Structure 1
Amino acid sequence: TQGGSVVFHVTRRPEVPPEAKLEKISWAVKNESNYIVLLHVSPGVDVPERVNPQDKFKERLHVLNTTTLRIDKLTLEDSGWYRARCSFSTGIENAQYFHLSVYEPVPRPQVLAKVLSLTRDWCNVTLACITTGATGAVNVSWESKGLPRELEQRGAPGPAPNPWTLALTLPLSQPSPRVTCVVRSPVDQKSATRDLGEVCVHGECSCLRGGDSRGSGPPGEGFMFCP
């Protein structure tokens, strides 16, 4: 996740003979079609050799041991391919490759609820899950306790007028379900839960942001906030 850390670890390949001693590991990052060497690490040498200390990584590279590299404070631009080229005393060289994908943190969603019609027996309500500021590959799913359905939509969320929506017809004679909107990326997730009994009892529209705290923000088209 953006702002987090990643650790790359080099393992000894089976084809390297036991008598071959590791002399150096050169870490590099792919820039378009070429690999740019960042630093050299040698066993027994405490301080790694930085090729360009003023590159985009600056103080974010940390050598934990001879075969392990950590990158801190990840940015979206750090995504891509990395290479560790190992040189041995017998003249053997081999390379190991690592692919890094950095994702933005998932924003906390808002759940808007609007009652379309309310009778003595039924409550017709439409829910909208709004993920303001979400970019990239995220999945949105509706999960519930008390409802026999789950709706999942995939892809990048649209702007506020085009939220993920879920239309429900609820029998008022049954216990009120709680519906949760879950927004997931490959490395993070956030959720917001709405008690539909509260919505249908009041017969109004309302918003809930994450858990049970009232939220505020731009509503989706056709939705209003209630005090």
Structure 2
Amino acid sequence: MEHVILLFYISLFFLCQAKGPLECWEQAVSANGALHLQPEKPPQGWTKFTWKVKRDAGYHQRILTVEKNKAELFFNSTFLGRAVFQRETFSLQIRPVSMADSGVYVADFEDTSGTFTRRCFHVSVWEPVHSLQLETRVLGWKQGWCNLSLVCTVSGADNVSYSWSCSGDPQGVLEHQPWLHLQVHEDSLPTVCRCNVSNPVSWSADSTNITVASCQAAASGVALSYSTVKMLLWLLLLGSLVAAVAITHVLVWQRGPPSHCAPGSSGTG
């Protein structure tokens, strides 16, 4: 029985000591914006408080340290002029932030026994979405159907998500891609398609109106363009042949007609 009780206390001891991975709050912020971090209520008996950050390099960098009974505040030099600390709430504000400020931010409360109580924030910095462009490309007109492609592009932002929505019932699949392939029938009403581009901190949208008339005109323009290029090529070939014949006649005329002499004559008077 004593062995069972001893085994129980040993198991309870290791169970209390075992700790899982530190859970972090997810927080996204826009580049050149302000990052605001605020831990929960501090534990009783804390003596020292520290903010630190772990970047991609894999090591913790101290941002600031403050002691309970002292007025001094020790800032890391890389955050001087950008970081503001509020003693009342233990909050940290960094302005402006850059892409390099992404990382895991930890708030450490230390008590007299050296025990730490931690609050963790996983911060990701994103470029805002801007300069959205929506382009319509008509691919052709066949048997009353207009085949077209919509292309939605943004500049200066990475890892964005795309979504599409169209009025009516156009033939096509609304995929989460920067492009959309559609078929619009000649009997269809005007179709309005909208592209939405977003990331965790911002979004932008644009729409375009697709009509059968504009689709036919664009398709005719494509066909006309092809016919024009074909005609120009034929004219170029014909012009080359005419130029070759003309050059040949000029060379023959410059050499003059061939001379004819009677047999046995010397050609002198």
- Correspondence for 2:203: 189
Q: Deviations over 1:90-138 (max 9, x none)?
A: 6543222221110111233211112223479432222112223332x21
Instruction: Confirm or deny: 8 A CA contact 2:164 2:196 kept in the other structure.
Output: yes
Post-superposition Cα deviations, 1:19-42, rounded to whole Å, max 9, x if no partner, equal x33333111122533322211235
- The residue aligned with 1:180 is 194
Question: Mind listing any 5+ residue stretches in structure 1 that lack a counterpart?
Answer: 154-163, 206-227
Does residue 5 (structure 1) correspond to residue 34 (structure 2)? The answer is: yes
Which amino acid is 1:27 matched to? W
Alignment of 1:140 onto 2:162 = yes
CA shift digits 1:29-70 (9 cap, x unpaired): 22533322211235586x661333x31x22121123342111
Alignment partner of 2:211: what SS? helix
Query: Once structures 1 and 2 are overlaid, which stretch shifts more, 176-185 or 62-71?
Result: 62-71
Residues 204 and 66 of structure 1: CA distance in aligned 2, closer, same or farther (over 3 Å): same
**Superposed displacement of residue 201, structure 1:** 5.5
C-alpha distance in 2 between matches for 1:199 and 1:6: 51
1:134-184, Cα deviation, whole Å (9 max, x unpaired): 32x21122222223642213xxxxxxxxxx332211123222111112112
Q: CA deviation at 1:75?
A: 0.4
CA RMSD of aligned residues (A): 2.8
User: Matches of residues 163-178 of structure 1 in structure 2 within 5 Å?
Assistant: 164-178=178-192
Q: Report the counterpart of residue 157 of structure 1 in structure 2.
A: none
**Please, which runs of 5 or more residues in structure 2 have no aligned partner?**
1-29, 220-269
The residue that corresponds to 1:80 in the other structure is: 103
Amino acid at match of 2:218: E
Further displaced range: 80-89 or 118-127? 118-127
- Indicate yes or no: 2:116 matched with 1:93: yes
Distance 1:69 1:84 in 2: 9
Q: In structure 2, what is the equivalent of residue 150 of structure 1?
A: 174
Shift of 1:72: 1.8
1:27 maps onto 2:51 in alignment: yes
- 1:29 and 1:82 in contact (8 A); partners too: yes
Map of 1:69 onto structure 2 = 92
SS state at 2:157 partner: coil
**How has the CA–CA distance of structure 1 residues 10 and 124 changed in structure 2, closer, same or farther, with 3 Å as cutoff?**
same
TM-score by length of 1: 0.69
Query: Relative contact order, CA 8 A, sep 6+: which one is greater?
Result: 1
> 1:36: which partner in 2?
61
- Selected match of 2:218 from 188, 200, 204: 204
3-state secondary structure, aligned to 2:53: strand
Flag the structure with higher strand content.
1
The 4+ residue runs of structure 1 with deviation greater than 4 A are: 42-45
SS at 1:178's partner residue?
strand
Q: Conserved in 1, the CA contact under 8 Å of 2:138 and 2:215? A: no
Give the Cα–Cα distance (whole angstroms) in 1 for the partners of residues 38 and 137 of structure 2.
52
In 2 relative to 1, CA 140–132 (structure 1 residues): closer, same or farther, beyond 3 Å?
Answer: same
Give the number of aligned pairs: 186
On the 8 A contact 1:123/1:200 being kept in 2, the answer is: no
Distance in 2, Cα, partners of 1:194 & 1:203: 16
